[in-house]
Chain A
Amino acid sequence: MSAPTSSAPASSTPASSAPTSWTPAAPRPPRGTLRRALRLLDVDPRRAALAVLLGTLALGSAVALAAVAAWLIARASQMPPVLELSVATVAVRAFGIGRGLMRYLERLVSHDIALRGMAHLRATVYDRLAAGSPRALLAVRRGDLLARVGADVDAVGDVVVRGLLPAAVALTLGVGTSVAMALFWPPAGLALAACLVAAGVVAPWLTAHGARTAEERGVRARARMSATSLGVLDDAGPLMVSGRLDGELDALRAADADLARAADAGARPAALAAAIGQLAVGAAVVAALVTGVPAVAAGLLAPVELAVIVLTPLAAFEATSLLPAAAVQVQRSRAAAARVLALVDGAGPGSTAAVGEQPSGDATDRPDAGTGTTAGPVLVATGLACGWPGRPAVLRDVDLTLAAGGRLAVAGPSGEGKTTLLLTLAGLLPPVAGEVTLDGVPLAGLPQGGVVRDVVMTGEDAHVFGTSVLENLRVARGDVTPDEAVDALRRAGLGLWLDALPDGLDTALGSDARTVSGGERRRLLLARALLADAALLLVDEPAEHLDGPTADGVLRELWHAPPTRRGTARGVLVVSHRLSPLAAADEVLWLADGQVAARGTHEQLLAHVAGYGEAVRAEQQETS
Chain B
Amino acid sequence: MKPLDPRLLRYARSARGYLALTVALGLLTGALVVAQALLLAHALGSAVAEGATLSAIAPLVGVLAGVVVVRALVAAMQERYAHRSATRAVAELRERVVAHAAAVGPRRAAPADGASLVTLATRGLDALEPYFVRYLPQLVLAATLTPATLLVVLGLDWVSAAVLAGTVPLVPVFMWLVGVMTQGRSERGLATMQRLGAQVLDLLAGLTTLRAFGRERGPVARVRELGDAHRRATMGTLRVAFLSGMVLELLTTLSVALVAVGIGLRLVYGQVDLVTGLAVLVLAPEVFLPLRQVGAHFHASTDGVAAADRAFAVLEVPVPDAGTRPAPDLARGRVRAHGVAVQGRGGWAPAPLDVELAAGRVVALVGPSGAGKSTAVEVLLGLLPPDLGHVTLEAADGTSTDLRDVDLPGYWRQVTWLPQRPLLEPGTIADVLGADSPADRDRAAALTGLDAVVAAAPDGWGTVLGAGGAGLSVGQRQRLALTRALLRPTPVVVLDEPTAHLDAAGEQVVLATLDALRDAGCAVLLVAHRASLAARADQVVQVTGVPGSDTARAGAPEQVR
- A282-B530 CB under 8 A given contacts A89-B264, A233-B101, A249-B95: no
Partner of A130, one of B61, B73, B216, B274: B216
Q: Which of B355-383 contact A (CB under 8 A)?
A: 368-370, 378, 381, 383
**Contact indicator B231/A115 (Cβ below 8 Å):** yes
CB distance from A363 to the nearest CB of B (A): 7
Q: How large is the interface on B (under 10, 10 to 19, 20 to 34, 35 or more residues)?
A: 35 or more
Q: Check B36 against A282 for contact (C-beta < 8 Å).
A: yes
Nearest residue, chain A, Cβ from B381: A241
Q: Are A240 and B425 CB-contacts (below 8 A) given A268-B80, A510-B559?
A: no
Asked if B369 and A462 make an inter-chain contact with CB atoms under 8 angstroms apart, the answer reads no
Q: Assess whether B242 is in contact with A515, with CB atoms less than 8 Å apart.
A: no
Q: Which A386-413 residues have a C-beta within 8 angstroms of B?
A: 412-413
Report whether B369 and A518 are in contact in the complex, using a CB–CB cutoff of 8 Å: yes
B413 CB contacts on chain A under 8 angstroms:
243
In whole Å, how far is A346's beta carbon from the nearest beta carbon of chain B?
Answer: 13
B518 adjacent to chain A (CB < 8 Å) = no
Cβ-defined partner of B552 (8 Å) among A80, A234, A275, A502: A502
A: number of interface residues (CB 8 Å): 181
Q: Are A278 and B102 in contact (CB under 8 A)?
A: no
Closest to A281 in B: B68
Question: At the interface with chain A, which of B196-204, B303-311, B436-444?
Answer: B196-204
Of the candidates A122, A267, A462, A622, which one forms a contact with B533 in the assembled complex, judged by CB atoms under 8 Å apart?
A: A622
- Given known A77-B49, A519-B369, A623-B531, contact A112–B231 (CB-CB < 8 A): yes
Measured in the bound complex, the distance between the Cα atoms of B368 and A270 in whole Å is 58
Q: Are B43 and A356 in contact (CB under 8 A)?
A: no
B40 is an interface residue with CB less than 8 A from chain A: yes
Roughly how many angstroms separate A249 CA and B102 CA in the complex, as a whole number?
A: 10
Alpha-carbon gap, A463 to B223, bound state (A): 17
B12: chain A residues at CB < 8 Å are none
* Interface pair A93/B257, CB less than 8 Å apart: yes
Chain A residues within 8 Å of B507, by CB: 618
A107 with B242: CB separation less than 8 A = yes
How far, in angstroms, from A115 to B227 measured CA to CA in the complex? 8
CB pair B260–A69 under 8 Å, yes or no, is: yes
Contact of A615 with B by CB under 8 A: yes
B41-90: which residues lie under 8 A (CB-CB) from chain A?
A: 43-44, 47-49, 51-54, 57, 61, 64-65, 67-69, 71-84, 86-88
Option from B69, B214, B273, B467 in Cβ contact (under 8 Å) with A279: B69
Contact A271 B68 (CB under 8 A): no
Residues A245-270 near B (CB distance < 8 A): 245, 249, 252-253, 256-257, 259-260, 263-264, 266-268, 270
CA distance A153 to B370 in the complex (A): 38
Of A290-298, A333-341, A372-380, A432-440, which stretch is located at the interface?
A: A290-298
Docked-complex contact B68 and A452, CB < 8 angstroms: no
Is B118 interfacial (CB 8 A cutoff)?
Answer: yes
A414 touches B473 (CB 8 A): yes
Do residues B211 and A229 form an inter-chain contact, with CB atoms below 8 A?
no
- Are A107 and B238 in contact, with the CB atoms below 8 A? yes
Query: When the two chains form the complex, which single residue of A73, A547, A614 contacts B278, counting CB atoms closer than 8 Å?
Result: A73
Is A413 in contact with B257, judged by CB distance below 8 angstroms? no
A-B contact pairs, 8 of them (CB 8 A): A72-B261, A115-B231, A142-B205, A296-B47, A355-B217, A475-B210, A502-B553, A577-B503
- Having A130-B220, A615-B504, one finds 16 other A-B pairs with CB under 8 Å, namely A62-B253, A69-B264, A70-B281, A77-B49, A93-B257, A125-B204, A126-B200, A137-B207, A149-B201, A234-B118, A260-B88, A289-B43, A290-B61, A292-B47, A303-B47, A310-B44
Going nearest first, the 10 A-B pairs with the smallest beta carbon separation are A282-B68, A119-B227, A622-B532, A615-B504, A96-B257, A452-B214, A463-B206, A508-B559, A256-B91, A100-B249
